[in-house]
Amino acid sequence: MSDGLVTCELICSSDEQDRILKPLENAIMASDQPIFTVLSDGMKLKEERHSAGPGGGAASLTKATTSDNESGIFSGECELCENHEAELDWFCATEQKLICSHCAIVGQCRGHSVTPLAARVSIVRNQLVDVCEKIQLQALRVERFIEHTLTDKEQKLQAAANQAREQVLAQVSAAREALEEEEQRLLEEVQREEERVEQCLLTQQAHWKQALASLSQTRSRLVHTLTHIPDSQLATSAQEIADRVEEAEGVGEPCDTEQLNLNPSCIDSKLLRGLWAIAVLLGQNAHKTSFFKFDERTVSPLLTLSQDHFTLTFNNKKSRQPYTYDPARFDNWPNALGSQALSSGTHCWVVDVGQSAAFKVGVCYPSLERKGSGNEARLGYNSQSWVLSNYDGDYSFCHAGKKVPLQVVKKPQKIGVLLDWPSQTLLFYEPDSNAILHSVIQTFAAPLLPACAVTDQSITIVH
């Protein structure tokens, strides 16, 4: 709606300036009334104000004032130019200020882009109208957004929140029901195991009490024979003595067996162990990743250890470097151990295995054999190491030479190891999804060291 600026280039020669300014000066001297001029081709002075006489001058002033009021300019108290004592009835776009006609023709704004004040005011008014219309439209959009969108969102929010609450309650209820059923099952299993062990103990007690009574009776007879039978009769009692000794030997030697202990597997529950692992890894008091490095002394000559001691890289035959002898170093298998032994608390660490197609990650006793190519120094092939192994996509848990195949849907980029010493639990998981890959409950007889092996590319301890 806004009009374009109307500009006038006011450039006059000196003769033209005299011809125009002379009447202007006469008009100013003849009357104190404001003089409105139109500077265009062949500018004309409004001399009618002076030729109209006293009455005509007043009428002309009234008419001019009324016209100015209609255009938004009230000329009754117009400001005058400080330099020319003329009315400021023009606008200089270059200087962004009001000027008089003299300023535009011969003054400091000569050659500038100027506009009649009435036209300038009209343009500004049109701009304000545009702004007001835009603000009104924006206000309508805001009002419509409040009345429709936000109200609709609030209603949907209530519905979504109610649905979310129902879902949480349903999931927790299902989990609670499953836990309660698992709790009941495990408690019954513990009860049966306790009754079994108790029965074994009672049977053993009865057996060995009877055996003890038999031994006491046999011993008493032999002592009686030794102390009360005459020498002549004792000399011929060899057979009787042999029978008594055979009877005593038949009792056998008492020995402790695993059947006399509560079987730890009676509380083995994949559900409970999985929930426990998730609680340890993701719960409010989640355990932070432990800080580990590889012990440089243990690194096999088949491997290269990075300067920060976090990365193991398998060396091909051409790039292998000679290593100094160290009793702690593996000399045949591509193994390396962590620098810190674990014997208490809960620990977890993550190994980046994304680049390798052949690796092992787990734990071992510090007493694991380091020398030779036998299974005693091979991770997972002896009773002193527990590892998760991958060879070209074939994942398995290895301990004491036995492999438990693992179903892995997607190749893990990282392998996490969680060791909880109080519960004697070793667990392998996938850190990105916290999926449990394998877990085992084991009575560890000594502290454990993180253990790794790699025969393809490299693996890295992640912190």
Nearest to 356 by CA among 431, 437, 411: 411
In this prediction, residue 457 carries a pLDDT of 95
Residue-level pLDDT at 376? 96
Please answer whether residues 285 and 276 qualify as being in contact, where contact means their C-beta atoms are separated by less than 8 angstroms: no
Contact 408, 432 (CB under 8 A): no
Cα separation, 72 vs 122, whole angstroms? 8
> pLDDT-derived band of residue 267, with 50, 70 and 90 as boundaries?
confident
- What does pLDDT average to over the chain? 81
Position 28 scores a pLDDT of 35
Name residue, tokens 């680049």: 355
For 460, phi and psi rounded to 5 degrees? Answer: -140, 135
pLDDT digits (tens, 9 = 90+) for 113-165: 999 999 999 999 999 999 999 999 999 999 999 999 999 999 999 999 999 99
pLDDT band at 10 (very low <50, low <70, confident <90, very high): very low
In whole angstroms, give the CA distance from residue 204 to residue 202: 5
CATH number for the segment(s) 270-462: 2.60.120.920
- 34 pLDDT above the threshold of 70: no
The answer to whether residue 451 scores a pLDDT higher than 90 is yes
C-alpha 430/C-alpha 390 separation (Å) is 14
Mean pLDDT value across residues 278-286: 72
Q: Retrieve residue 71's tokens.
A: 């255009």
Give the per-residue pLDDT at 76. Answer: 45
Q: Which residues contact 202 (CB under 8 A, 6 or more apart)?
A: none
pLDDT computed for residue 96 by the predictor: 92
Kindly report the backbone phi and psi dihedral angles of residue 445, in degrees, each rounded to the nearest multiple of 5, phi listed first: -95, -5
- Provide the residue ranges of all domains of the chain, joining segments of one domain with +: 14-112, 153-260, 270-462
Model pLDDT, residue 78: 67
- Res 175 pLDDT > 50: yes
Tokens of 244: 């008594």
* DSSP characters over 357-411: SEEEEEEE-TT---SSSSGGGSTTSSTTEEEEEEETTEEEEEETTEEEE---SS-
Length of the chain measured in residues: 463
List the single range of 8-17, 186-195, 317-326 with lowest mean pLDDT.
8-17
Task: Please write the tens of the pLDDT for every residue from 209-228.
Answer: 988 888 888 888 888 877 88
Q: How many Cα atoms within 13 Å fall on the side-chain side of residue 51?
A: 5
Q: Residues 294-303: pLDDT tens digits?
A: 999 999 999 9
pTM of the model: 0.56
Q: pLDDT tens, 50-97? A: 343 433 433 333 333 334 444 444 444 568 999 888 999 999 999 999
Mean of pLDDT values over 222-242: 78
Indicate the pLDDT class of residue 249, thresholds 50, 70 and 90.
Answer: confident
